């Protein structure tokens, strides 16, 4: 600007001469002084305003207004709230439109496989369980590391406060990605025990059961109750469909003292502890579960329990949002919540899978997706979801006076917090081909449910899985 003004002044100066020229030059000089003074004040004022904005911590949420992002997510109890309230608020706040698609967990992974294989630029961000697909997606180049966004003050609002996420979930979001941050945790999903206070009272039982032996004894006692107006109330509800049952077996496996693999990475399902766990899980569904339990997937198990068809239900903590909603559940207000019972050796090992938010490396709208992540995991949004029994990954949520004041289920809070603080990310084997491993292990679980030879089924699973582990390089010998 200064160079342009100076050039015009010099050109005019040599074009004028005499008295008239002198007068005009003086006038031009005065005008130039006024113009430059105004310009200087404009620059100084702008600088002062910018400094004031920065000092106030203002953040430009409208920076990517007009963009549209496509997000694939798992169908969760929180999904209706996200669709009806959170996403419209985000669009109003940022000017960014969100095409939000949600699917059941297994359908989501199948759709993701197709999208990523084609390196689709039409998919910007997605949700998945890092402990299930994290290693595979990272090795295949399907994950954009998020550290660059987290550290950039122009892209990360100061109120986001990543350190507020609990150490456990932050560790999981870095566990599978060579130490880099591969995801932002949305919902921790630790296992808990749901139990019907009214049914326990009718059966003359004190609840909740403190050990697995007490859990089985309670299930047997409840099976003796006569049918009610809504039909038979079964002793227990667990996932039975092999692939989907693996995540729930994990607790019983580790609580019995077993592990998925030995210290060299080989299948460890034939160990005495693993055999005990497989036998217990299958026996509970076979003797005290509903007919056809061997085919019951996660959504069906949730629905049956919500309809009042079982007295106990072992599954992830976030199902409470459905169970306590009278429009979706017949057991709302009738439930107690507890940590999963102690195993035969007095051990209790919780698991901590999380739903993580990921950005596709093939997207041209990564920054807009990052703003979306910040909004749906903000302290305000996660507190609102937490009040609906969708567990929060943020420490501040649990410590919030508002949550403590409105906490209607302190037993749910206690059980969930215990899992978040002590859980392991091992609800599926920590291997590259985790999905294939689940299919193999699931066959052994179903064999146990059907009353078949558990040792033989475990050995068959190990033979097949060890061949897979050798192929993927997960064996250490």
CATH code of residue 265? 3.40.190.10
Last residue of a domain, one of 419, 443, 463: 419
Residue 25 included in any domain: no
Residue 457 included in any domain: yes
* Average of per-residue pLDDT values in the chain: 89
Residue given tokens 């409208």 in the structure block: 62
Q: Helices (DSSP H) in 265-392: which residue ranges?
A: 272-288, 298-306, 320-323, 366-376, 379-386
The model's pLDDT over 311-323, given as tens digits with 9 standing for 90+, comes to 999 999 999 999 9
**Of 31-40, 271-280, 293-302, the least confident:** 31-40
Domain housing 144: 68-188+353-419
What pLDDT score was predicted for residue 5?
34
Q: pLDDT band at residue 137, thresholds of 50, 70 and 90? A: very high
What pLDDT score was predicted for residue 228?
82
Residue 28 included in any domain: no
229 or 379, higher pLDDT: 379
pLDDT surpassing 60 at residue 339: yes
Q: pLDDT band at residue 49, thresholds of 50, 70 and 90? A: very low
Residue 241 included in any domain: yes
Mean pLDDT over residues 296-306, rounded? Answer: 96
pLDDT surpassing 60 at residue 13: no
Residues 216 and 157 in one domain: no
Residues 203 and 113 in one domain: no
Cα–Cα separations (whole angstroms), residue 50 to 41, 43, 60 = 14, 10, 12
Residue 285 included in any domain: yes
Percent of the chain past pLDDT 90, that is, above it, reads 83
Cα–Cα separations (whole angstroms), residue 442 to 136, 278, 294, 454 = 20, 10, 10, 12
In 64-134, the DSSP E strands lie at 68-74, 97-103, 125-128
Residues 332 and 457 in one domain: yes
Residue 16 included in any domain: no
Last residue of a domain, one of 376, 393, 419: 419
Residues 333 and 451 in one domain: yes
CB 62 within 8 A of CB 94: yes
Q: pLDDT band at residue 166, thresholds of 50, 70 and 90? A: very high
Residue 41 included in any domain: no
What pLDDT score was predicted for residue 449?
98
Residues 345 and 388 in one domain: no
Q: pLDDT band at residue 14, thresholds of 50, 70 and 90? A: very low
Contacts of 296 (CB under 8 A, 6+ apart): 237, 238, 239, 240, 241, 289, 290, 304
pLDDT surpassing 90 at residue 4: no
Task: Extract the tokens encoding 155.
Answer: 């892209």
How many structural domains does the chain have? 2
Mean pLDDT over residues 125-138, rounded? Answer: 94
What pLDDT score was predicted for residue 230?
77
Residues 319 and 227 in one domain: yes
Q: pLDDT band at residue 477, thresholds of 50, 70 and 90? A: low
The model's pLDDT over 369-424, given as tens digits with 9 standing for 90+, comes to 999 999 999 999 999 999 987 889 999 999 999 999 999 999 999 999 999 999 99
On the question of a cis peptide bond just before residue 208, with omega within 30 degrees of 0, the verdict is yes
pLDDT surpassing 60 at residue 271: yes
Residues 254 and 333 in one domain: yes
> Which residue from 455, 453, 458 is spatially nearest to 442, judged by alpha carbons?
458
Q: Helices (DSSP H) in 256-365: which residue ranges?
A: 272-288, 298-306, 320-323
Residues 295 and 277 in one domain: yes
Residues 260 and 376 in one domain: no
Q: Taking each helix axis as running N to C, give the angle between helix 2-15 and helix 18-55, from 0 to 180 degrees, rounded to the nearest 10.
A: 170
Residues 271 and 367 in one domain: no
Last residue of a domain, one of 419, 441, 461: 419
Mean pLDDT over residues 450-471, rounded? Answer: 98
Task: Extract the tokens encoding 411.
Answer: 């037993």
**Of 14-23, 309-318, 326-335, the least confident:** 14-23
226 or 33, higher pLDDT: 226
Contacts of 98 (CB under 8 A, 6+ apart): 68, 69, 70, 71, 87, 90, 91, 372
Which pTM was predicted? 0.82
Q: Residue 224 burial (CB < 10 Å; 0-12/13-18/19+)?
A: exposed
Residue 264 included in any domain: yes
> Which residue from 258, 187, 194, 172 is spatially nearest to 415, judged by alpha carbons?
194
Residues 228 and 149 in one domain: no
Residues 402 and 285 in one domain: no
- CA dist., res. 86 & res. 462, Å (int): 45
Q: pLDDT band at residue 57, thresholds of 50, 70 and 90? A: low
Q: pLDDT band at residue 44, thresholds of 50, 70 and 90? A: very low
Contacts of 275 (CB under 8 A, 6+ apart): 269, 454, 455, 458
pLDDT surpassing 70 at residue 176: yes
């Amino acid at each position: 600007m200064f160079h342009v003004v100076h050039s015009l002044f010099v050109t005019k100066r040599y074009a004028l001469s005499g008295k008239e020229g002198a007068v005009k030059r003086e006038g031009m000089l005065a005008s130039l002084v006024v113009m430059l003074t105004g310009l200087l004040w404009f620059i100084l004022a702008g600088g002062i305003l910018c400094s004031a904005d920065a000092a106030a911590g203002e953040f430009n949420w409208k920076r990517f207004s007009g963009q549209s992002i496509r997000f694939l997510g798992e169908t969760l109890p929180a999904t209706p709230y996200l669709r009806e309230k959170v996403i419209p608020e985000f669009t109003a706040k940022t000017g960014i439109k969100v095409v939000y698609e949600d699917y059941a967990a297994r359908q989501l992974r199948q759709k993701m496989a197709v999208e990523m294989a084609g390196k689709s630029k039409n998919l910007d961000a997605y949700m998945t369980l890092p402990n299930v697909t994290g290693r595979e997606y990272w090795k295949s180049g399907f994950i954009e590391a998020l550290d660059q966004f987290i550290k950039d003050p122009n892209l990360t609002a100061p109120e986001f406060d990543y350190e507020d996420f609990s150490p456990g979930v932050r560790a999981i979001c870095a566990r599978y990605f060579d130490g880099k941050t591969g995801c932002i945790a949305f919902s921790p999903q630790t296992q808990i025990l749901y139990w019907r206070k009214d049914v326990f009272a009718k059966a003359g039982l004190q609840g909740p059961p403190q050990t697995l032996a007490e859990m089985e004894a309670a299930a047997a006692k409840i099976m003796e109750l006569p049918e009610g107006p809504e039909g038979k109330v079964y002793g227990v509800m667990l996932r039975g469909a092999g692939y989907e049952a693996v995540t729930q077996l994990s607790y019983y496996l580790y609580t019995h003292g077993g592990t998925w693999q030995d210290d060299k990475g080989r299948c460890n399902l034939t160990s005495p502890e693993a055999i005990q766990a497989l036998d217990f899980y299958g026996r509970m569904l076979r003797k005290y579960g509903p007919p056809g339990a061997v085919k019951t997937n996660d959504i069906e198990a949730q629905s049956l329990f919500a309809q009042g068809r079982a007295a106990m239900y072992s599954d992830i903590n976030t199902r409470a949002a459905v169970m306590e909603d009278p429009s979706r559940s017949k057991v709302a207000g009738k439930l107690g919540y507890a940590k999963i019972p102690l195993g035969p050796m007095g051990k209790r090992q919780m698991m901590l899978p999380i739903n993580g938010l990921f950005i596709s490396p093939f997207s041209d709208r990564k920054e807009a997706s990052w703003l979306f992540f910040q909004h749906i995991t903000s302290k305000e949004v996660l507190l609102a979801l937490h009040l609906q029994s969708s567990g929060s990954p943020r420490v501040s949520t649990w410590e919030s006076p508002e949550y403590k004041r409105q906490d209607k289920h302190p037993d749910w809070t206690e059980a969930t917090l215990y899992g978040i603080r002590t859980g392991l990310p091992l609800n599926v084997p920590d291997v590259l081909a985790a999905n294939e491993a689940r299919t193999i292990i699931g066959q052994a679980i179903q064999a146990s449910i059907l009353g078949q030879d558990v040792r033989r089924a475990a050995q068959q699973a190990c033979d097949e899985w060890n061949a897979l582990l050798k192929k993927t390089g997960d064996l250490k010998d």
